[in-house]
Amino acid sequence: QVQLVESGGGLVQAGASLRLSCAASGLTIRTTAMGWFRQAPGKEREFVASVNWWGTGVTNYADSVKGRFTISRDNAKNTVYLQMNDLKPEDTALYYCTASTRPTTSTRATTVPGWYDYWGQGTQVTVSS
């Protein structure tokens, strides 16, 4: 069975940093595209960041987090991270880790929730003003 387990969320004040972790089991992330999405109450699930497994690992970010968030992977630990800096109240959401085993040459495909095969349970990030 494939499992994705997120951790690292919490309550912080605006301007602070957090690093989310996603520990994967049942699959090897070295050959898997990984992504982070978030969902705030009353809103649809929103793309945050992704990293492809092919080539050098092309990353993609939502405009709202560019320059603040960084996605990375540690293949040896089979873990994906989301470093979040300069957090803002609008970043408050439940953050989900996701994985796709389907190959693609399009970075835009990684922004579509339906492209992914597996999802974690989410970790809550709350940013106070």
Instruction: Give percent of the chain above pLDDT 90.
Output: 82
* Distance in angstroms (rounded) separating the CA atoms of residues 40 and 51: 22
Q: For residue 5, how far is the Cα from the chain centroid? A: 11
* Distance in angstroms (rounded) separating the CA atoms of residues 54 and 6: 23
DSSP-derived 3-state class of residue 107 = coil
The token pair at 95 is 């953050």
15 conformational bin, left if phi > 0, alpha if psi -120 to 50, beta if neither = left
Sheet arrangement for strand 69-74: 3-7, 18-25, 79-84, 69-74
Rounded mean pLDDT of 39-62?
A: 89
* Distance in angstroms (rounded) separating the CA atoms of residues 52 and 71: 11
Instruction: Check if the beta carbon of residue 125 is closer than 8 Å to that of residue 9.
Output: yes
Q: pLDDT tens digits, residue range 68-102?
A: 999 999 989 999 999 999 999 999 999 999 999 88
What does pLDDT average to over the chain?
93
